[in-house]
Structure 1
Amino acid sequence: MSDQLVPFLKWAGGKRWFTQRYARMFPQNFNLYIEPFLGGGSVFFHLKPQQALLGDLNEDLINAYSCIRDDWEPITNLLVQHQLNHCVDYYYHMRETIPTNLCERAARLIYLNRTCFNGIYRVNRQGMFNVPKGTKDSVVFETDDFEKMSITLLNAELRTSDFEPLIEEANHGDFIFADPPYTVRHNQNGFIKYNENLFSWNDQIRLAAALRRAYDRGAIILSSNANHHLVRELYEDQGFNIETVSRYSSISADPSKRKQYEEIIISANIH
């Protein structure tokens, strides 16, 4: 469809598959759209809400969305330059370089995302992006419609923020879509050290409690999470509806380990 927008970033845990296969789960009517873990923005670009509050703890990510909203044309021109210069040495040069200009910083994030290994965003303890170069060399995509993305983002407030303050702003009839980093391996009992540092079990408890408070205020809730018995119990105890869905995971370096995984969708007040 001509009005569909393809997200400009590939993000771990992205929900393009969900918008394609489970769009029936989205509410038909709502007031403010709130997404506290923005990532690749698949659901936002699918819904194209009239009003939105979008947030993420990743400052570079929020800057990229802000630059596309406020001044998208330099992003396009900079990506063309990155495409012309792209090679192994250039990739690692850009990986070590952090521009001071915000548009250049946004274009750098998009460039690295499109040419790094599997589109993974990972930084070291010093906050430096440290993912090696991947096999893909395309920097400019035919699906890039930054002008239309800019228009879609015009009525969106963008914040670098923890999830809790954003969820606390939800009122009756507002729609929250929460897609947190998963802290457990899908369908298994092991907690993953890297994700535990990224989003702890205490964060999971905070998120469930914040969503319950928003639910009590009359907000519409839709949230994804790992299909892990502790996560299910956490949300069942809060009185949420839970549905199991399947997705194909392509993030593994080993193709033999890329397979269907189950996730859960947590919902409330969807009519």
Structure 2
Amino acid sequence: MNRERTAGKPAGEDGVGIVVPFLKWPGGKRWLAAEHRNVFPKKYKRYVEPFLGSASVFFALQPERALLSDANEELITTYRAIRSRPKAVMDALNRHALKHCDTYYYEVRSMRPTGLIERAARLIYLNRTCFNGIYRVNLEGVFNVPRGTKNTVVLPTDDFHTLSRVLHGAELENKDFEEIIDQSGDGDFVFADPPYTVRHNTNGFIKYNEKLFSWADQERLAAALARARRRGARIVATNANHSSIRELYAYHRFAQRTVSRFSSISATSSSRKQFEELVILGGRR
């Protein structure tokens, strides 16, 4: 018999304690998990996340069962490597740390390793030493972010063995978001945090997202989440607080609320500011 389980096991309960995500990812939701935890359901059968990124919400909730996916194959490969061989990934990252310099960064950026461990360590190394932790590829799929200012490759918070334990109950997929959401069922909790693309946008970063995630994808996502809600899944999604997004989810009869966060994805500190995002809610709480 399928029973709902209490969601997550933060520090002080039965879980492994506080887990710090090992990646810095544009649009990451550490702030949401820390400051707005009340938006997440307290009980569910399985956690489903189709846009995994840095997995901030997953690591905060630590669900016993999860279906995790992302369109970025290198990212999912990295999670699989940490789940199965955490020590080997840590050892490879330490080797990168010993050689780190400007020249070495661009050498690693140009590499195309094929092994599981090497691919994972390369992504983590580049993520920590590139400009602002941005993951961007050109039309040929080649990572092209320049070297940033940070030199710390191995962090004090790194605990890949604990990350491996938390990931143990998760399925990791590299699939389209719609296919993943369509696997959710009654009592599941779907958390969706897509690239923030809006209709008729004028924002440069969102214009870049449009190449990755079109307005048609936004419409497809809203429809998939509505289907999941009809099957009995609980929905929490985040998106740009823009009239086109609000209208799209109002059409599908989702509840909406706005929350504020600080954005650090900007070329200059003077242009980084507090702004609002949209949280979209559906299903039984």
TM range (shorter): over 0.9
Aligned to 1:115: 129
If the length of structure 1 is used for normalisation, what is the TM-score? Answer: 0.97
Matched, 1:33 2:9: no
* Residue equivalent to 1:190: 202
2:202 equivalent to 1:168: no
The 5 Å alignment of 1:142-181 reads 142-181=156-195
- The alpha-carbon deviation at position 193 of structure 1 amounts to 2.5
Match for residue 266 of structure 1? 280
Which residues of 2 match residues 1-271 of structure 1 at below 5 A?
3-184=17-198, 189-190=201-202, 192-271=206-285
Letter in structure 1 aligned against 2:50: P
Segments of 4+ moved more than 6 angstroms: none
Q: What's 2:3 paired with?
A: none
Report the AA paired with residue 144 of structure 1.
Answer: D
Asked if structure 2 preserves the Cα contact closer than 8 Å seen for 1:34 and 1:53, the reply is yes
Question: Aligned equivalents of 1:140 and 1:60: distance in 2?
Answer: 19
Aligned equivalents of 1:127 and 1:196: distance in 2?
16
Q: Secondary structure at the match of 1:122?
A: coil
Cα deviation 1:137-162 (Å, max 9, x = unaligned): 00001111110110111110000011
Question: What SS does structure 2 have at the residue aligned with 1:93?
Answer: helix
Deviation at 1:195, TM superposition (A): 1.1
| SS of equivalent residue, structure 1 residue 252 | coil
Taking every aligned residue pair, what percent have the same amino acid on both sides? 57
Q: Is the 8 A contact 1:189 1:228 kept in 2?
A: no
Distance 1:86 1:53 in 2: 35
**Maintained 8 Å contact 2:198/2:244:** no
Deviation at 1:189, TM superposition (A): 4.7
Tell me the matched-pair count.
Answer: 269
Q: 1:270 to 1:190 in 2, by over 3 A?
A: farther
2:44 and 2:128 mapped to 1: Cα distance?
33
- Give, as a single letter, the amino acid of the residue that structure 1 aligns with 2:129: T
The amino acid of 1:244's aligned partner reads T
TM-score by length of 2: 0.92
Residues in 2 aligned to 1:69 and 1:106: alpha-carbon distance in whole angstroms: 11
Residue type of the alignment partner of 1:3: G
1:234 is paired with a residue of what secondary structure?
helix
Q: Secondary structure at the match of 1:161?
A: coil
Q: Which runs of 5+ in 2 are unaligned?
A: 1-10
| Partner-residue secondary structure (3-state), 1:121 | coil
CA RMSD of aligned residues (A): 1.3
CA distance in 2, matches of 1:145, 1:177: 25
